[in-house]
Structure 1
């Protein structure tokens, strides 16, 4: 299996559908807040995609472009990008700032799923 096949595109969401895909979801939602202009964000995207692929059906993964959806960035009082926020059972369970490894994200996701 090639590297590309182990990935899946993150679903892009904005203000209009954010609550439906995160707070109202039956499974945990991992949301990557970032911007295409951000080099570190672009490095984080494939890592999140790989984790989403490995945990498909158990978590949902989304992308929020903070340049287009600044209100969401401020709503959750985020400081800097990239920033990953994990939602479960209608609440925020984890905020993670900066570039994160696949192994680190898997450890966090496993902790939430158990």
Structure 2
């Protein structure tokens, strides 16, 4: 599980890690019991390694941080959101292949 490129965020460090980040942040909203989330996990880690220069990758456990999940209207997981300058700029829901997420990220950060 130890991946240096993926930060686990909580309600406590959400502002500093995500909203005040100096580059776009790709947030994986997930939970332990969610099968598709477990499928997405390794993909998110690969993206974190490949794109560490362009984007910061974090994971937020919705069960442990329900306030944040509610604040952003997370209805189903995995939900993957991109934040830039403290605001959500794009989101995608559900498990998808790595290529799909890479395209999603590239579109978000190039716009």
Structure 1's consecutive aligned runs of 4 or more residues displaced over 4 angstroms after TM superposition are: none
How many angstroms apart in 2 are the aligned matches of 1:10 and 1:39?
A: 19
The reply on whether 1:104 has 2:100 as its aligned counterpart is yes
Q: Secondary structure at the match of 1:11?
A: strand
State how many pairs are aligned: 108
Deviation at residue 89 of structure 1 after TM alignment: 2.0
Task: Map residues 14-29 of structure 1 onto 2, 5 A cutoff.
Answer: 14-29=10-25
String of CA shifts for 1:58-92, please: whole Å, max 9, x gaps.
Answer: 11111111111111110101111111111012210
Q: Which of 27, 30, 55 does residue 31 from structure 1 map onto?
A: 27
How many angstroms apart in 2 are the aligned matches of 1:9 and 1:110?
A: 18
Deviation at residue 95 of structure 1 after TM alignment: 1.4
Instruction: Give the match for residue 58 of structure 2.
Output: 62
Q: Which runs of 5+ in 2 are unaligned?
A: none
Deviation at residue 9 of structure 1 after TM alignment: 5.4
Q: Secondary structure at the match of 2:19?
A: coil
Instruction: Give the match for residue 73 of structure 2.
Output: 77
Q: Secondary structure at the match of 1:22?
A: helix
Q: State the TM-score, normalized to the length of structure 2.
A: 0.90
Q: State the TM-score, normalized to the length of structure 1.
A: 0.88
